[in-house]
Structure formats: structure tokens, C-alpha cells
Amino acid sequence: MGKKEVKAKQGDGECIFCKIGRGEIPCRKVLENDNFIVFYDVNPRTKGHCLIVPKKHFKTILDMPSSLYGEFLETAKEAAFKLLKEHRAEGFNLVLNNFEVAGQVVGHVHMHLMPRYKDDGFKLCVG
């Protein structure tokens, strides 16, 4: 049985992350596969801060099909290994903000991968 085609939610094609995913807007790419693109954040919080973004438009993780969750995390894992090596990071944070009240700025699901370094001064506020 083949994979089901994942249909994107309304708004596909209009947001900046959709345009980056299609190559219409340039980015500093870390890696890419069929369903996801990883690129450096234009406003990095730490050295090597990047975003893991599905190429199809889903507003939040709740809109993204469960069938993509594993690949989302595998893509994050691959990017983390690459950044740990290339930036000589000592650790990393994965952050997924959903909805504006939780800090989501772009209405297209994305995960932040922030390499961490001893005494980098970045504080992640978690209860």
C-alpha cells in the first residue's frame, strides 16, 4: 500500500515559509528532503540557530498529519548531528511554538533547533 498524499491546509503558497520551501525566496539551507527544509534563522538566538519547516503549509502541529511526525523528528535529528559537528556545539534545544500566544510568529508550523554552548548566555524560559 502506497503512502497517502498529504493535502495542505488553506493558505498554502502565501506564507514566507511556503515560498522558501519552493525555492522562491533564498535561504541559507542546512539540509532538505522531500517533505522538509532546514535553514538558518534570520534572527538567530544562538550560533547555528535554524528552523525545520515542512514544505507544505500547516499552521500548527495540530494541522500537520501524524504520518509526518516521525519524518519531522528524523529531519531534526539529522540537522542536530550536522550542527553539533559543524558548529562544535555542546548541546541543543528543540522548540515548537504553536499559536501566537505561545510565541508562534509565522503561521506555518516550524521547529527551532538551537545549538547550545557553555556560557552562551541564552536562557530558555520553561516552567
| CATH of region 30-116, choose from 3.40.640.10, 1.10.40.60, 3.40.50.720, 3.30.428.10 | 3.30.428.10
pLDDT tens-place string over residues 60-111: 999 999 999 999 999 999 999 999 999 999 999 999 999 999 999 999 999 9
Domain ranges of the chain: 30-116
What is the rounded CA–CA span in Å between residue 46 and residue 33?
24
What is the rounded CA–CA span in Å between residue 18 and residue 53?
9
pLDDT at residue 92, as a whole number:
96
Distances from the Cα of 54 to the Cαs of 27, 63, 90, 91, 108, in angstroms? Answer: 15, 12, 26, 24, 8
For residue 3, pLDDT over 80 is answered with: no
What is the rounded CA–CA span in Å between residue 83 and residue 91?
10
pLDDT at residue 7, as a whole number:
45
User: What pTM did the predictor assign?
Assistant: 0.87
pLDDT at residue 4, as a whole number:
41
pLDDT at residue 127, as a whole number:
53
Q: Where do we find the cell 548541546? A: 91
pLDDT tens-place string over residues 6-48: 444 445 558 999 999 999 999 999 999 999 999 999 999 999 9
What is the rounded CA–CA span in Å between residue 104 and residue 75?
20
Radius of gyration of the chain (CA): 15
pLDDT at residue 24, as a whole number:
95
pLDDT tens-place string over residues 98-126: 999 999 999 999 999 999 999 998 987 66
- Provide the annotated active-site residues: 110
Helix extents (H) in the chain:
16-21, 69-86
Confidence of residue 2 (pLDDT cuts 50, 70, 90): very low
Contact 91, 47 (CB under 8 A): no
